[in-house]
Amino acid sequence: MVHRRTDKRLSKDLDENCRLLESVIGDTPDLIRRRLRLGSRGSVEAEVIALAGLSDSAFVSEHVILPILARTADAPVTRANAYAYVVAALSAATDVVEEEFLFPVVQQLLRGSTVVLVDGLGRAVIVSTGAPPERAVAEPESEALVRGPRDGFNESLTTSVALIRRRVKAADLRVEELTVGELSPTLVNLCYLKSRVDPDVLQDVRERIRALRVDSLLDTGELAEYISDQRYPLFPTILLTERPDRTAAGIMEGKVAVLVDGSPVALLAPNSFWDFLMSPDDYYQNPFLITFLRWVRLVAFLVAMLAPALYIAGTTFHQEMIPTTLALRIAAGREGTAFPAVVEALILEVQFELLREAGLRIPRKIGTAVSIVGVLVIGQALVAAGVVSPIMITVVGATAVASFAVPIFAAATPTRLLRFPLMVLAGTFGIYGIVLGTFLIVAHVTALKSFGRPYLLPVAPLRWRDLLDSPLYRAPRSLESQTESGSFPAGHFRRRSSWRRKRWSTQ
């Protein structure tokens, strides 16, 4: 196998080069090879090599093979001047490069480019003809908005970058190309606004990506885990989004966006915890409504994590804190129930997780049937069998609904995972257990950093000015001039532009 570190220089013998290439790629049926005889006498040979499917066959014929044949048909081509004729023939192509080593040639071939090898020439001429199968730009299903743009990234890096450029028309938008993967090198693009990005963060992102030693990179989520600050990631510190408008907004704030070839998801860094509770349409709607909705999301996050635990603690240890009428109703509902509240909650939560996991994989046509079975199993059979009480179904139902109210899917992950230990703590130590568990969670979150920046900024450490656009409040635009970076003409998202100027290495 050819490797960056064991690379070979191309020879001047065409057959030797073809053998070399074939030994690396293998005798694969999708490898297109066309041997051409150049010149009026056909004395010089060349070979056009491409991979079917990855390259555009029509483009290869029209813009590579035909021009070469046309240009050299009546020309006195020799081994000495063949290269000049070939380059001249390809001058109409937009992207033509030359490579002297085997490794980059193979890489370009695997990305859909067409390689032209000429006898007597110790290098390859590579024409960009890549046209891999591509999905149309569509609305991201997991990040739907009520109002706002409907487009989402697709698996093509070029398209994704174009979608960002469409929104960020600043001249200093930079796109850097990196490669990750030893066995299967994958293109990674870094997008940032040169005038706004924190150079330390940019360098940090760049270095973490460059330092990766992995065989392959299939998705942005994989990259996010590799470059995350956390060794044991529980709370997301890197935001993954399929929305170009969210990505563009992040870039305008001074964040770095990372795109991976073959993945429809962009990675944004650095982030605070609150970024995961915000939605792009927060800036397209009434600020007071959004302030209210942000509170709703925060409450939803807390409900998703704590509601079952609080119910267990209340019914098991602290009945006095429940209003009398409600306490009597709960007691009546629990009469005849076989298990203590903590076991009830665990059974229902596990059942819900099973249904959720199954729902993702069940073919759509039988999905409805399974939903009905799920509802019957949860809603009726378990109650009728005395396994759970009706009020517990309400609690778990509210928890489930609350977990879907969090705008970014990844932000709901900790609530799903932490709900279980909190339930056990509540079932064993009541409110004391919940407070201890929550204390540990808050301490963990407070200690987190995203590329050197405190995860709970601007709440802890407290930055009053940045609270104008925070998880608790979205200021009307008339107040925006009070934020630190008042000169930013785009208006929204100027809120945390001060971040890039602050160094967090010691604070």
Partner 1 sequence: MTLVGPPQKPSSEALSAREVTAILGMMYSAPIIYTPIRMFEVASTSAWIAGLLSGVVGAGTVYIWTRLSASFPRQTLPEFVPRIVGPYVGWAVNLMFLTYFVYEVAISTRMISEVVLQVLPETPIGVIMAMSLVTGALVTRLGPEVLGRMATIHLGIALTGFLFMVVALAPLVQLRNFQPFLVGGWFPVLQATTPPASLFSHITLISFLLPLVPLDPPDENAVQTRFRQGMKVGMIGIGISWLLFFLLLVLAQGVFSADETARLAIPAFSLARAIDFGVFFERVEVSLLALWLPAVLIKTCTFLYVASLTLGHLAATPSYRRYVLPLAGMTLPAAYTLASNLPELIRLVNGAWVIIAIGVKVLLPLLLLILHLVRGRVSSAF
Binding residues for partner 1, rule: CB under 8 A, are 317-318, 320-321, 323, 429-432, 434-436, 439-440, 442-444, 446-447, 454, 456, 459-462, 505-507
Residue 456 Cβ vs partner 1, minimum distance, rounded to whole Å: 7
Q: How far, in Å, CA of 134 to CA of 155, rounded?
A: 7
For partner 1, the closer of residues 325 and 481 by Cβ is 325
Residues 6+ apart with CB under 8 A from 200: 452, 503
For partner 1, the closer of residues 86 and 418 by Cβ is 418
Residue 426 Cβ vs partner 1, minimum distance, rounded to whole Å: 12
Q: Helix, strand, or coil here: 411? A: helix
> Rounded to 5 degrees, what angle do the CA atoms 218, 220, 222 make?
65
Tell whether omega for the bond before 407 is within 30 degrees of 0, i.e. cis.
no
Q: Which residue type occupies 364?
A: R
Residue 440 Cβ vs partner 1, minimum distance, rounded to whole Å: 6
Residue 91 Cβ vs partner 1, minimum distance, rounded to whole Å: 57
Joined tokens for residue 481: 């001039």
Q: Do 313 and 430 meet the contact criterion of CB atoms below 8 Å apart? A: yes
Joined tokens for residue 338: 């076989």
Residue 373 Cβ vs partner 1, minimum distance, rounded to whole Å: 38
For partner 1, the closer of residues 373 and 436 by Cβ is 436
User: What b/e readout covers 176-186, taking b as 16+ CB neighbours within 10 angstroms?
Assistant: eebbbbeeebb
For partner 1, the closer of residues 235 and 317 by Cβ is 317
Q: Give the helix/strand (H/E) hosting 364.
A: helix 364-376
For partner 1, the closer of residues 57 and 446 by Cβ is 446
Residue 235 Cβ vs partner 1, minimum distance, rounded to whole Å: 14
18: left (phi over 0), alpha (psi -120 to 50) or beta: alpha
Q: Which residue type occupies 49?
A: I
Residue 342 Cβ vs partner 1, minimum distance, rounded to whole Å: 15
For partner 1, the closer of residues 91 and 324 by Cβ is 324
For partner 1, the closer of residues 196 and 453 by Cβ is 453
Residue 447 Cβ vs partner 1, minimum distance, rounded to whole Å: 5
Residue 114 pairs in a beta bridge with 127
For partner 1, the closer of residues 157 and 310 by Cβ is 310
Residue 303 Cβ vs partner 1, minimum distance, rounded to whole Å: 16
Q: Which of 30, 29, 12, 10 is nearest to 20 (CA)?
A: 10
Length of the chain: 507
Q: What share of the chain is helix, strand, coil (3-state, %, to 5)?
A: 50, 15, 35
For partner 1, the closer of residues 148 and 454 by Cβ is 454
Half-sphere exposure of residue 51: CA atoms within 13 angstroms, side-chain side: 22
For partner 1, the closer of residues 299 and 435 by Cβ is 435
Joined tokens for residue 63: 């813009």
For partner 1, the closer of residues 174 and 444 by Cβ is 444
Q: How far, in Å, CA of 62 to CA of 59, rounded?
A: 5
Q: How many CB atoms lie within 10 A of CB 72?
A: 24
Q: How many CB atoms lie within 10 A of CB 466?
A: 20
Residue 274 Cβ vs partner 1, minimum distance, rounded to whole Å: 13
Pairing of strands 124-127, 114-118: antiparallel
